[in-house]
Amino acid sequence: MNTFNLMQVADFPTRITNNNGTLIDTILVDTTMYDKIQVKPCINAVSDHDAQIICLQNANIGLQQSVSKKKSRLINEQTIKHFQTLLKDETWDTVCKTTCINEIYNGFQGIFLRHYETSFLVFYTNYPLSYGVSVRERYGSTLLPATREQHDQNCIQSH
């Protein structure tokens, strides 16, 4: 666990019986992510197993978690021409020299995908995530933003 900066943070019994208490819940936290970590028991008096409340303060969240990656392929006139050339120059032996429909399909798909992935290279684009706006409902062509309180009068009046 230390290799991954993980630390067990619950240090109190979570299952209590008449004679003893045991820690049966494991809460592991990356210690490099938070400045202050607190775990407290939540005694529910319903069963012999209590819940835990964890408070994580001052999160050290890096750029990776605030960015969304979009996968794209480089497709332009040059890459299309390269793809067409590869398909034209292919012998297609695995497709043409069999009568089994499954072998024909698998052979075609394998050749096509190999040339597709060779011609149209993958690249990733980073987009910052936007927080606090989500779409709640769609009315006609208008999208209404969701609010923390579904009956927010300011939101209702503005739409």
Question: Within this chain, do residues 73 and 103 fall inside the same structural domain, yes or no?
Answer: yes
Return the closest-CA partner of residue 37 out of 20, 53, 54, 13. Answer: 54
Tens digit of pLDDT for each residue in 106-140? 999 999 999 999 999 988 887 766 554 444 444 44
Q: How many domains does the chain have?
A: 3
What are the start-end ranges of the E strands in 2-159?
A: 6-8, 15-16, 21-22, 28-30, 34-42, 51-59, 67-73, 122-128, 135-139, 142-145
Q: Tell me how far apart the alpha carbons of residues 88 and 108 are, in angstroms, rounded to a whole number.
A: 13
Question: Within this chain, do residues 71 and 42 fall inside the same structural domain, yes or no?
Answer: no
Name the more confident of 148 and 38: 38
Name the more confident of 154 and 39: 39
Question: Within this chain, do residues 120 and 145 fall inside the same structural domain, yes or no?
Answer: no
Question: Within this chain, do residues 74 and 121 fall inside the same structural domain, yes or no?
Answer: yes
Q: Which domain holds residue 144?
A: 133-158
For residue 146, is pLDDT > 50? no
pTM across the whole model? 0.41
Beta bridge pairs of residue 39: 54
Question: Within this chain, do residues 30 and 76 fall inside the same structural domain, yes or no?
Answer: no
Question: Within this chain, do residues 94 and 111 fall inside the same structural domain, yes or no?
Answer: yes
Question: Within this chain, do residues 15 and 47 fall inside the same structural domain, yes or no?
Answer: yes
Question: Within this chain, do residues 12 and 29 fall inside the same structural domain, yes or no?
Answer: yes
DSSP 129: P
Q: Which pLDDT does position 138 carry in this prediction? A: 44
Question: Within this chain, do residues 44 and 79 fall inside the same structural domain, yes or no?
Answer: no
Return the closest-CA partner of residue 42 out of 32, 58, 27. Answer: 27
Question: Within this chain, do residues 11 and 37 fall inside the same structural domain, yes or no?
Answer: yes
In the chain, the N- to C-terminal Cα span, in Å, equals 51
